[in-house]
Structure 1
Amino acid sequence: MHDSQGPAGRPGLVAPPHQRLGRLTCVAATILLIVSVLTGAGSFAGSAQAATAGPCDLYAAGGTPCVAAHSTTRALYAAYGGALYQVRRSSDGRTQNVGVASAGGVADAAGQDAFCAGTSCVITVVFDQSGHGNDLAYQGPGGAGGSDTPASATSEALTVGGAKAYSLYINPGNSYWHDGHASGMPLGSAPQGAYMVTSGTHVNGGCCFDYGNSETDRKADGAGAMNAIYFGTSCWFGGCSGTGPWVQADLEYGLYSGGSQSWNQNQRAFTSRYVTAMLKNNGTSQFALKGGDAQSGGLTTLWNGALPPGYSPMKQQGAVILGSGGDCCATNTNQSLGTFYEGAVVSGYPSDATDNAVQADIAAAGYSPGSGGAGSGPLHAIGAGKCLDVPNSSTGNGSQVQIYSCSGAANQTWTATSSGQLTVYSGSSRLCLDASGKGTANGTKAITWPCNGQPNQEWSRNADGTVTGVQSGLCLDVGGASTANGAPVQLWACNGQSNQQWKLG
């Protein structure tokens, strides 16, 4: 399922030294790191506090070091202080790297907000924190080659340990790639592990939302040419439990929920807002799949057994893929969507103890939805000088909201909740701002609807004044940039215009 050239160049990054430890030292170090994470020493308390150990420190201690490590939200090593990703703004085409607020900490979202103020930005590169140079460039003209485009840099804001960050929010036609065959990626039948933190609410069945090892020629080169995590609602061979999304292995020529094309009774769906997905493969006989809630709890083992028939030995080529299948992007056939917060590819077959330590570190990181903080008051449409209004003070379901002269009335008083909702009225009349029909297309109506906890009722209030739908990544927009009373409000692709800027209170 996959994609040829890596980025033409990259800024020099100083990565922390990582050395393999002796076997006894590895065991001792892993135990110490697990203890430190489980007792809270590895948690974040805002962007200024660094982690005691990050996921890649834990992998290194277990003798399976990261050879590719990517995140838009935080450092994956306690000592990492370099760039996480690069953004490009539409106003003048300039780029800027977004790093961490402090070594081992959370992304400097304020730096991105300042650079992108008054315009729109896309993410062009996600830098490799491992020191191997496996930086992921978008698959398209000016990037890694192909026909895809870079993802918006502001589709989803969230908090990590209380500090604001942005996700890599991938829609169909967005993807990233790098040829890492000479940069430490496992090749042939070499053992490999991988994990990613993704979202159980921004998914589809398009092929294929992957992260991991892929073909260097961006063609489907046969069984075993890929070794990547897939997360989505596609179940190629049937029998997956529920309606998904599922953690599966994209091994080329198939998405596998287990060791064959038949039903895996241990496979289950992961629908939480933040999901940990893991895959490890010894390259010759065995692979394992695990999943869990990235906010709390442990991992569920979905498969731990034989490789599917025809996949031994593996034939890994060493490209790194993110957001698509490997053969997709020369003809722009990438139809997948998903969210990427962090992930890594490691050399070797991680132990279960290391898997558990990494999951504990992720849960301690403090992933949480929404931004902009709680608050209540009128939601001002900046471009029009009016307020978001429920027509005729309706308390019925499905009213499309509009802009109207500000009055301070109840039908213009909105409350931003800690879970990212925007509510109007109170008590039994309480309603939520809702993307009608869970729509993700331009022109989707913004309506009021009973609050139900679904992602089409979750909103991110961003520093640039936009309000973006968590499910769609689209901006709350005054139709036709109108300034007239009664102008309808809808969802539309973010464009940096004043009819997409709002202020609460």
Structure 2
Amino acid sequence: MRREKSTAGGGLRRSARRALLRPLRHLLSAVAAIGLVLGALIALPGVSQAAGSLPCDIYGAAGTPCVAAHSTTRALLSSYNGPLYQVTRASDGARADIGLLSAGGYANAAQQDTFCQNTTCRITKVYDQTSRHNDLTPGPAGTSGMGADRGADASEIAVTAGGHKVYGIWISPGVGYRYTGVASGVAVDGQPEGAYMVASGTHVGSDCCFDYGNAESTPADTGNGHMDAVSIATTCYFAPCTGSGPWIEADMENGMFQGDNGSNTANRGNNSPFVTAVLKNDGQTKYALKGGNSQSGALSTWWDGGLPTRAGYRPMHQEGGIILGTGGDNSNWNRGTFFEGVMVAGYPTDAAENAVQSNVVSVGYSGETDVPNGPQGTVTGPDGKCVDVAADDTGTNGTAVQLWDCQNWAEDQHWQHNADGSLSTIGRCLDIEGNGTANGAKVELWDCNGVGGQKWVQQADGSLLNPQSGRCLDSPSGATANGTRLQIWDCNGSAAQKFKLS
């Protein structure tokens, strides 16, 4: 059944897991950073990006170089001209790297559209744009009890950046990415670091964990201070909290910290469609959290002070893994939408972070970020309920297909009507148990295999016909309660068989 999982107890706890020259260098670094800020502040949204002005250029010039840079929308350093991400086609398992329209520019979404035409694709790798090759792939199972992650549907969420169509990464329960092991250059054992991501402030939840940043080298909770990841969620882990979020938080393992020692009522949250979420941590005594609207304005500083005094956080014990969309122990129950993010070595200056925010604003991100808007659409049935897969976006072979209240963010309520007549969601097809044809045969989710039990044709009277059986998709006795398991039955034109493809 589709419901929010409690964040009390185990859910987040498991996861939610040279001396003379030095002043001169510091002075020069500060001057350079101020120059970067002034240059960024006069930037205007447009379809191109100036060389030397992208986030990793800015951080590098300020003495805190990027050690990881991930995005499906654009280059994050001006010299980059490689692939952003890899997609894998469901129809034949073929793979393609999706690159840029030009060096230092925006993603070539048309390349993905052509490759994935008439089938579905998953994002199976997110390339690191630095020279360190800290690429992310779907994560392995962890000690949270969840299975291995799947890659995101590549066409689930399209937005505009720099005047171009681009795709984000739609994170649903069961979707997530990881660099397992110690990533090159990423902070370990109390070293300073910083990170930011651009994510949705509207496609969010309270479950564990929509994180980006430093995590355990293996998918297991190894204790307080072993993570240092930025998060945006509606998780009030340490009460009291101000408002209902979502808040920019620091997942430092076994707690989502809004500032101070956990609770921080000065953190008022960020709920714009695109949010810049910033975290930095010196690894020893202090950390800071900032948030801003990625479409306009400056960053707000929600916390700039001491690390938690709870045991294990002074100093930090980072392990140098990287996660995206999950917790450190692979807790992958939350949801979110990711567009770009970097991790840097060292403790970034405020000037550099302000310049990065100005660059992000200059991109001109636009579009809805809380509704899947690819080739999928909803299938509504009796009483306006949606055709839904049990198990909250994580359905495997044999999972029941049912009626449920429509939720705009639910990936498994968005179906693609494919050229072969099948209806697919979360990588599988609407199927009849045992490829059956008898009245009352239940429908389920199953790997798309082209059998007759996976063909569905919209009829003029509003029904969905399965040609092999000659019967229609049906709600038993016209029931409309959440969780009603769907079946096939003789076509009779009743309200129980009215299913509309959007």
Aligned equivalents of 1:446, 1:45: Cα separation in 2: 40
- Residue type at the aligned position of 1:165: V
Residue in structure 2 matched with residue 268 of structure 1 by the alignment: 268
Name the CA shift for 1:140/1:253 in 2 (closer, same or farther; >3 Å).
closer
CA-CA distance at 1:39 after TM superposition? 1.3
Alignment of 1:74-473 (within 5 A): 74-140=74-140, 147-179=148-180, 181=182, 183-261=184-262, 263-309=263-309, 310=311, 311-328=313-330, 333-369=331-367, 400=384
- Are the equivalent residues in 2 in contact too, given 1:30–1:62 (CA < 8 A)? yes
Aligned equivalents of 1:140, 1:381: Cα separation in 2: 28
Residue in structure 2 matched with residue 23 of structure 1 by the alignment: 26
CA-CA distance at 1:179 after TM superposition? 3.3
- Give me the TM-score of the superposition, normalised by structure 2: 0.71
- Are the equivalent residues in 1 in contact too, given 2:51–2:104 (CA < 8 A)? yes
Aligned equivalents of 2:250, 2:380: Cα separation in 1: 46
- Residue type at the aligned position of 1:183: S
Residue in structure 2 matched with residue 65 of structure 1 by the alignment: 65
CA-CA distance at 1:153 after TM superposition? 0.5
Residue in structure 2 matched with residue 37 of structure 1 by the alignment: 40
Name the CA shift for 1:500/1:32 in 2 (closer, same or farther; >3 Å).
farther
Q: Pairwise CA RMSD of aligned residues?
A: 3.9
Q: Structure 2 regions of 5+ residues with no counterpart?
A: 1-13, 17-23, 370-374, 394-400, 420-424, 431-442, 444-454, 465-472, 474-498
Aligned equivalents of 2:283, 2:103: Cα separation in 1: 35
* Residue deviations 1:220-245 (CA, integer Å, cap 9, x gap): 11111001112111111221111111
Aligned equivalents of 1:362, 1:59: Cα separation in 2: 13
Name the CA shift for 1:444/1:31 in 2 (closer, same or farther; >3 Å).
farther
Aligned equivalents of 2:355, 2:426: Cα separation in 1: 32
Aligned equivalents of 1:474, 1:92: Cα separation in 2: 13
SS at match of 1:83: coil
- Are the equivalent residues in 1 in contact too, given 2:463–2:500 (CA < 8 A)? no
Moved more, 25-34 or 167-176: 25-34
- Are the equivalent residues in 2 in contact too, given 1:50–1:103 (CA < 8 A)? no
Q: Structure 1 regions of 5+ residues with no counterpart?
A: 4-20, 372-379, 383-387, 392-397, 402-433, 448-453, 466-471, 491-498
Residue in structure 2 matched with residue 469 of structure 1 by the alignment: none
* Residue deviations 1:21-62 (CA, integer Å, cap 9, x gap): 943443333233222221116x4416xx55551111111111
Aligned equivalents of 2:240, 2:203: Cα separation in 1: 22
Residue in structure 2 matched with residue 485 of structure 1 by the alignment: 460
SS at match of 2:366: strand
CA-CA distance at 1:255 after TM superposition? 1.1
Bigger radius of gyration, 1 or 2? 2
- Are the equivalent residues in 2 in contact too, given 1:140–1:149 (CA < 8 A)? no
CA-CA distance at 1:482 after TM superposition? 2.7
Name the CA shift for 1:485/1:75 in 2 (closer, same or farther; >3 Å).
same
- Are the equivalent residues in 1 in contact too, given 2:120–2:427 (CA < 8 A)? no
Name the CA shift for 1:26/1:96 in 2 (closer, same or farther; >3 Å).
same
- Are the equivalent residues in 1 in contact too, given 2:88–2:121 (CA < 8 A)? yes
- Residue type at the aligned position of 2:178: W
* Residue deviations 1:289-339 (CA, integer Å, cap 9, x gap): 1111111011111111111112100001100011111112xxxx5211111
CA-CA distance at 1:162 after TM superposition? 1.2
Aligned equivalents of 2:104, 2:376: Cα separation in 1: 38
- Are the equivalent residues in 1 in contact too, given 2:379–2:387 (CA < 8 A)? no
- Are the equivalent residues in 2 in contact too, given 1:400–1:445 (CA < 8 A)? no
- Residue type at the aligned position of 1:249: A
SS at match of 1:290: strand
Percent of counterpart pairs with the same letter? 43
* Residue deviations 1:409-461 (CA, integer Å, cap 9, x gap): xxxxxxxxxxxxxxxxxxxxxxxxx999xxx87767899xxxxxx979xx99x
- Are the equivalent residues in 1 in contact too, given 2:183–2:322 (CA < 8 A)? no
Residue in structure 1 matched with residue 53 of structure 2 by the alignment: 53
Aligned residues: 399
